[in-house]
């Protein structure tokens, strides 16, 4: 009989609650792994409390089956400096190649270090010697370094959900030496794509004096780290099951009634400048100008969920999109038809399958994206006998795997419009062929494979330091 798996401790900025059905695919997947082997999920509660408020810094415990959920509130200052500041005004834009939007105020950097240290101190009190720790995303890059400083010797892996840009962009981040050194406190660093892994390898060799030992292992500062790509997937079955819900059926019936005689296109995104929404709207404008057969027919339903609304880059984007949608609808719309239906809200996850099923084309055209799960959800929901077409940005991580989509450069608006037109007119045989290949790809490489591969690699990684410890 094989030995039971060690306890898993997942750390992410926000935690999912496996008991809630509305949780996204990633939350479901991590919840499943945690539930199957028992474990702890640790992160910020999402609550902000006044600086120095009584109870600040206290841990909150909840149990969800075999999973212990442990959260902590953030003070106003920590929320401002760590979350809004360094994470979302500095790292998020820089990692999405947008140095022009990045704000590297010194207070943000100090707040980021302070909160990571605080989280490490709290987490260390919960750890057992054999735990395996899996840290998620850009908010928490230095967490392992802080844990190591407290004497933690457990296996620690890190997964970055967003892209890792090439060395010249990373080198523009003040304090990048410190940030990149932090990666060497992990045993395993997982990235979404091979391109991200290449950037990591080049950066640590050029800027941190690391030496490549082959097979993705790098050595620097007396430590070794394994860097490898683990492209994240979706839970195809779980997502398809949502289509059976009453809400999904009602939505599908409504959409077919309203739009049955139109050519429906869909976009589903967080309202974020990385998602390329203004250029997507301009591509629709170009489509209507240059391919007039789409007048009174093509309709883009764009759902854009509110996101990080305390940050000005996001409110500016919202204003820009509302202006563009109004302009395009004003110019081309008729009493009984509008080319863009723009909804600035989060849709219930249960209603998404219906929207995907009814749409002949999905527009997934980010300027930069770690992976993009909407591309995979759209493919999962198509009718295999008469599938829709995915128009996908070559700058989404998903493009590395989903080669049978219509790949576009979202900066080239006329070419994007041309690809949309091609998608709308694509013959059935070609649609079926492309869809079958994409469906095979997302089914074989789903979110369960992703977490299994990552945890297997973490369980077996052999670094010199680890060999010395054991």
Q: What are the residue numbers of the active site?
A: 161, 369
235 touching ligand ADQ, by CB under 6 A: no
CB of 238 vs ligand ADQ, minimal distance in Å: 11
Interface positions, 123-162, toward ligand ADQ (CB under 6 A): 161-162
Whether residue 415 contacts residue 409, with contact meaning beta carbons closer than 8 Å, is answered with: yes
**How far is it, in rounded angstroms, from Cα 110 to Cα 415?**
44
25 touching ligand ADQ, by CB under 6 A: yes
Closest Cα partner for 375 from 383, 360, 365, 385? 365
CB of 96 vs ligand ADQ, minimal distance in Å: 8
346 touching ligand ADQ, by CB under 6 A: yes
Binding window for ligand ADQ (CB under 6 A); candidates: 53-61, 71-79, 109-117, 368-376? 368-376
Taking each helix axis from N to C end, the angle separating 413-425 and 277-290, rounded to the nearest 10 degrees, works out to 70
Binding window for ligand ADQ (CB under 6 A); candidates: 169-177, 262-270, 318-326, 384-392? 262-270
Rule CB under 6 A: choose which of 352, 392, 423, 439 binds ligand ADQ: 352
User: In this complex, which beta carbon is closest to ligand ADQ, that of residue 24 or of residue 168?
Assistant: 24
Closest Cα partner for 407 from 423, 384, 426, 388? 423
CB-based burial, 82-118: b 16+ in 10 Å, e otherwise: bbbbbbbbbbbbbbbbbeebbebeeebbebbbebbbb
446 touching ligand ADQ, by CB under 6 A: no
| Count of residues in contact with ligand ADQ, rule CB under 6 A | 23
**How far is it, in rounded angstroms, from Cα 147 to Cα 117?**
8
CB of 236 vs ligand ADQ, minimal distance in Å: 12
Whether residue 8 contacts residue 33, with contact meaning beta carbons closer than 8 Å, is answered with: yes
Rule CB under 6 A: choose which of 9, 141, 283, 303 binds ligand ADQ: 303
Interface positions, 183-222, toward ligand ADQ (CB under 6 A): none
CB of 391 vs ligand ADQ, minimal distance in Å: 15
The long-range contacts involving 237-244, CB below 8 angstroms and separated by at least 24 positions, are: 238/25, 238/28, 239/25, 239/353, 239/377, 239/380, 239/381, 240/353, 240/380, 240/381, 242/349, 242/350, 242/352, 242/353, 243/353, 243/354, 243/357, 243/381
CB of 349 vs ligand ADQ, minimal distance in Å: 6
User: In this complex, which beta carbon is closest to ligand ADQ, that of residue 303 or of residue 321?
Assistant: 303
363 touching ligand ADQ, by CB under 6 A: no
User: In this complex, which beta carbon is closest to ligand ADQ, that of residue 40 or of residue 362?
Assistant: 362
Rule CB under 6 A: choose which of 5, 296, 297, 305 binds ligand ADQ: 305
CB of 73 vs ligand ADQ, minimal distance in Å: 23
User: In this complex, which beta carbon is closest to ligand ADQ, that of residue 142 or of residue 267?
Assistant: 267
371 touching ligand ADQ, by CB under 6 A: yes
Whether residue 189 contacts residue 145, with contact meaning beta carbons closer than 8 Å, is answered with: no
User: In this complex, which beta carbon is closest to ligand ADQ, that of residue 147 or of residue 162?
Assistant: 162
CB atoms within 10 A of CB 195: 18
User: In this complex, which beta carbon is closest to ligand ADQ, that of residue 152 or of residue 277?
Assistant: 277
CB of 399 vs ligand ADQ, minimal distance in Å: 12
User: Footprint of ligand ADQ on this chain (CB under 6 A)?
Assistant: 24-26, 161-162, 232, 268-270, 303-305, 346-347, 349, 352, 369-374, 377
């Amino acid at each position: 009989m094989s030995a039971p798996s060690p306890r898993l401790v997942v750390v992410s900025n926000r935690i999912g609650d496996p008991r809630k059905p509305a949780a996204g695919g990633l939350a479901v997947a991590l919840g499943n792994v945690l539930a199957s082997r028992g474990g702890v999920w640790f992160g910020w509660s999402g609550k902000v409390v006044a600086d120095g408020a009584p109870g600040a810094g206290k841990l909150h415990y909840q149990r969800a089956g075999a999973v212990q959920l442990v959260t902590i509130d953030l003070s106003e200052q920590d929320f401002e400096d760590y979350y809004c500041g360094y994470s979302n005004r500095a790292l998020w834009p820089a990692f999405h190649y947008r140095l022009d939007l990045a704000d590297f105020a010194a207070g943000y950097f100090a707040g980021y270090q302070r909160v990571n240290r605080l989280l490490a101190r709290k987490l260390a009190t919960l750890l057992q010697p054999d735990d395996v720790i899996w840290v998620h995303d850009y908010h928490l890059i230095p967490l392992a370094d802080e844990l190591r400083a407290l004497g933690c010797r457990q296996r620690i892996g890190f997964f970055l959900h967003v892209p890792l840009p090439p060395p010249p962009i990373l080198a523009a981040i003040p304090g990048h030496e410190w940030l990149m050194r932090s990666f060497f406190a992990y045993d395993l660093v997982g990235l979404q794509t091979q391109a991200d892994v290449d950037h990591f390898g080049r950066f640590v060799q050029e800027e941190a004096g690391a030496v490549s030992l082959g097979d993705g292992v790098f050595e620097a500062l007396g430590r070794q780290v394994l860097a490898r790509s683990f492209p994240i997937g979706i839970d195809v079955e779980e997502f398809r099951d949502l289509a059976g819900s009453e809400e999904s059926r009602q939505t599908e019936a409504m959409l077919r009634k309203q739009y049955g005689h139109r050519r429906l296109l869909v976009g589903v995104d967080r309202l974020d400048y990385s998602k390329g929404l203004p250029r997507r709207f301009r591509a629709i404008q170009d489509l209507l100008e240059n391919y007039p057969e789409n007048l009174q027919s093509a309709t883009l339903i764009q759902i854009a969920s509110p996101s990080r609304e305390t940050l000005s880059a996001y409110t500016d984007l919202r204003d820009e999109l509302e202006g563009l949608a109004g302009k395009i609808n004003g110019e081309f719309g008729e009493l009984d038809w509008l080319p863009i239906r723009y909804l600035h809200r989060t849709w219930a996850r249960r209603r998404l399958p219906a929207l995907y099923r009814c749409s002949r084309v999905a527009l997934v055209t980010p300027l930069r994206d770690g992976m993009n799960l909407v591309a995979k959800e759209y493919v999962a929901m198509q009718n295999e006998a008469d599938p829709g077409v995915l128009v996908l940005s070559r700058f989404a991580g998903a493009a590395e795997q989903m080669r049978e989509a219509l790949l576009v450069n979202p900066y080239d608006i006329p070419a994007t419009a041309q690809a949309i037109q091609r998608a709308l007119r694509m013959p059935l045989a070609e649609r079926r062929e492309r869809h079958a290949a994409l469906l095979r790809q997302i089914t074989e490489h789903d979110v369960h494979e992703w977490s299994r591969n990552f945890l297997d690699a973490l369980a077996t990684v052999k670094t010199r330091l680890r060999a010395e410890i054991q």
